[in-house]
Structure 1
């Protein structure tokens, strides 16, 4: 679960964080694995309390992912419904309806905007979709971009397992070789450096809004509440209004879980099965149920980054921190953390990663339950719920009915 935070209590280097002007449209662009889920969950949970303080969270869900993907003209995750302009336009309407309140839009997928033209369009539309040409410059001035950053060495293992959840079949060390040693560093995941070459990411958005309207928050993993306190200070909210919301569905997979899924991906692709089946049965079935039903234990083997890759990431992090520091943007937190190079603990050989029988059983059950949840001729309340919200007895009953029905047809 992404709950890593910046240090401090609304103060940086002994200076209080100045809140953004009233009426600002704050665009939090992530990128991935930098505390975005914690921020989105806390803002959504406090949605009804925010207007009393002149702040709005204009979204119908915790994370308006489809809107961000549509705005950036990016594809959906493997097998998911393709986002359309309607998703983005609907979010813009909600933002426009906030009037003079400060509004917050948060999605790590905005970091996937590939070029200056896309970034400029997003800023212009978010600033004021219906603004006349002469007022567009002033409308763009309402947009303030917030970037949250963590050390690259901490992002890489988490991002790799996330790519595996979207169908990646490459092992971790192989993947690191491609990302760090094999120019042009675009295979198998070109989105990685689009998101995580953080200096270039910040630079793209500075060109759209100006350095004075970009804030970079350096995340410090040692402080579990600081990131939310920083958001409160920037938005002028009372301290502790934003609280962490547990989200087991967002936890990272262990090494064994990731390897199980990676090998399943090989079989899935090798047999030419449709992407829609992967989305329904694997990512939103087996994996989702496994995450919700099973929590990692101290005995589970973590994904460990080899020392050569940690050192390479630290070198890139130092370079990125230096470039960001020269751009004139506001930086909250310690930029030195971006070149953090954590050393592997101990000298002993890593333990063998083995999937626990109960974890495998929950993954298999999740896939079966997803079949039972699939839409049939007649909809019901049970079918509308997600797998982990439906009782085992109910899912087995539905699955049994469908199997019997198909057998009778045959």
Structure 2
């Protein structure tokens, strides 16, 4: 992607200040910038927030369906389509907060397709009471994590091919048109500043070295006491390793090549195999990380520098160090584990070669899937299939079951099926 890096990044503020009482704080993400961590912490503290004049009006940790409906975006691959009722219910809960401060968080607001949609969302949430918060991380760190999330929603393209399309093949919209809509951060900030005014937009540059920094920033903006917002462990939301992602990507190729329905993919793969694999198997130092080629890192950092300069020129408040957006990672980046959004991205696919791809350059060995991980994934799919056909649910969760027992149970089931045939 062409860049223009003539404008130096602006100096950011180091200290946040509280927003006016009664503000409706709209956190729009984008994806892969700590949204899940914020949503989890706010939801866990929702009973105590009213003590300090703050409300979390959503009835779930992440009002994803409401945000998708508000932005007229499709559901996840194979999921039930969101309706206006999802958005209307959230609006009712927001209005019920009255004059108190409220906070709404969904990274899917970053996918709003046009200025008219953004203006409507702002007006329905309270017009001049709305303050937009954008959290940003370096693009070079976002790209591997975003790729594996696309794979979790059916993408079949390998990482290096995907980088080529996103960075080197105009108009940079295949196979995922949503990527630059949400991650061309300067334009994202500009679109929302056009709806609420630059004075009512705050950009927070997330420093990955300060694990609790983003929570502390939210506490200050909302006028909450220190350490009220606490990290919420979420192993089910961790990103996949390179081997796990390649396992799923090749499954996507087989799934799509055999014409199976999207609803089946949603239930068996995304709702069965993937969460069981995530819950039961934590990555170790032996797992190969998703390595980004040097050329892609350099191009991403150049784009980051350009975006930082343009954001500074918009007149919005910037908290943190904008130079982080163009800093070159010292090592290939492993996707963050618990601090990622919990749901896959939009189902955007275009024609592409269904072929294996070698691991990206810079890896620390060959990516191999452990038998335990494969067994957990297979068990998850089988358990989901059993629930669809009226089979009994397992007496204990998969992460409580030893791997040897999983393999033994799966083997017996396969033998029984073969015997019946």
From 352, 355, 371, give the equivalent of 2:366.
Answer: 352
Q: CA-to-partner distance for each residue in 1:337-385, whole Å, 9 max, x for gaps?
A: 011111446x9763000000000000000001111222749xx9x69x9
Distance apart, 1:18 and its partner CA: 1.5
Query: Pairwise CA RMSD of aligned residues?
Result: 2.7
Q: 1:44-193 maps to which residues of 2 (within 5 A)?
A: 44-127=43-126, 140-193=127-180
Query: Secondary structure of the residue that 2:131 maps to in structure 1?
Result: strand
From 233, 238, 263, give the equivalent of 1:276.
Answer: 263
Distance, in Å, in 1 between the alignment partners of 2:363 and 2:390 is: 51
Partner of 2:241: 254
Q: Say whether residues 1:361 and 2:375 are aligned partners.
A: yes
Partner of 1:202: 189
Distance, in Å, in 2 between the alignment partners of 1:248 and 1:334 is: 29
Indicate if the aligned counterparts of 1:198 and 1:320 stay in contact, CA closer than 8 A: yes
From 249, 254, 263, give the equivalent of 1:267.
Answer: 254
Distance, in Å, in 2 between the alignment partners of 1:250 and 1:46 is: 19
Q: CA-to-partner distance for each residue in 1:68-91, whole Å, 9 max, x for gaps?
A: 000010011111111010000000
Indicate if the aligned counterparts of 2:273 and 2:381 stay in contact, CA closer than 8 A: yes
Distance apart, 1:13 and its partner CA: 4.8
- Does the C-alpha gap of structure 1 residues 309 and 292 become closer, same or farther in structure 2, counting only changes over 3 Å? same
Partner of 2:19: 20
Partner of 1:374: 388
Indicate if the aligned counterparts of 1:285 and 1:387 stay in contact, CA closer than 8 A: no
Query: Secondary structure of the residue that 1:215 maps to in structure 2?
Result: strand
Query: Secondary structure of the residue that 1:296 maps to in structure 2?
Result: coil
Distance, in Å, in 1 between the alignment partners of 2:313 and 2:191 is: 14
Distance apart, 1:249 and its partner CA: 1.1
- Does the C-alpha gap of structure 1 residues 204 and 84 become closer, same or farther in structure 2, counting only changes over 3 Å? same
Indicate if the aligned counterparts of 1:289 and 1:387 stay in contact, CA closer than 8 A: no
Distance, in Å, in 2 between the alignment partners of 1:349 and 1:232 is: 39
Distance, in Å, in 1 between the alignment partners of 2:260 and 2:397 is: 22
Query: Secondary structure of the residue that 1:141 maps to in structure 2?
Result: helix
Distance, in Å, in 2 between the alignment partners of 1:41 and 1:349 is: 32
Q: CA-to-partner distance for each residue in 1:242-288, whole Å, 9 max, x for gaps?
A: 00000011100000000000000000000000000000000110001
Distance, in Å, in 2 between the alignment partners of 1:31 and 1:289 is: 26
Distance, in Å, in 1 between the alignment partners of 2:382 and 2:50 is: 43
Partner of 2:355: none
Partner of 2:280: 293
Distance, in Å, in 2 between the alignment partners of 1:310 and 1:189 is: 19
Distance apart, 1:388 and its partner CA: 5.7
Gaps of 5+ in 2: 1-11, 333-360
TM-score (normalised: structure 2): 0.84
Partner of 2:5: none
Distance apart, 1:114 and its partner CA: 1.1
TM-score (normalised: structure 1): 0.86
Partner of 1:4: none
Larger RCO of the pair (alpha carbons < 8 Å, separation 6+): 2
Q: Which runs of 4+ in 1 moved over 3 A?
A: 347-350, 385-393
From 273, 289, 299, give the equivalent of 1:312.
Answer: 299
Indicate if the aligned counterparts of 2:291 and 2:362 stay in contact, CA closer than 8 A: no
Distance, in Å, in 2 between the alignment partners of 1:288 and 1:303 is: 19
Q: How many residues align?
A: 375
Distance, in Å, in 2 between the alignment partners of 1:252 and 1:325 is: 31
Distance, in Å, in 1 between the alignment partners of 2:250 and 2:18 is: 48
Partner of 1:233: 220
Distance, in Å, in 2 between the alignment partners of 1:389 and 1:373 is: 18
Distance, in Å, in 1 between the alignment partners of 2:121 and 2:375 is: 44
Distance, in Å, in 2 between the alignment partners of 1:360 and 1:391 is: 14
Indicate if the aligned counterparts of 1:369 and 1:387 stay in contact, CA closer than 8 A: no
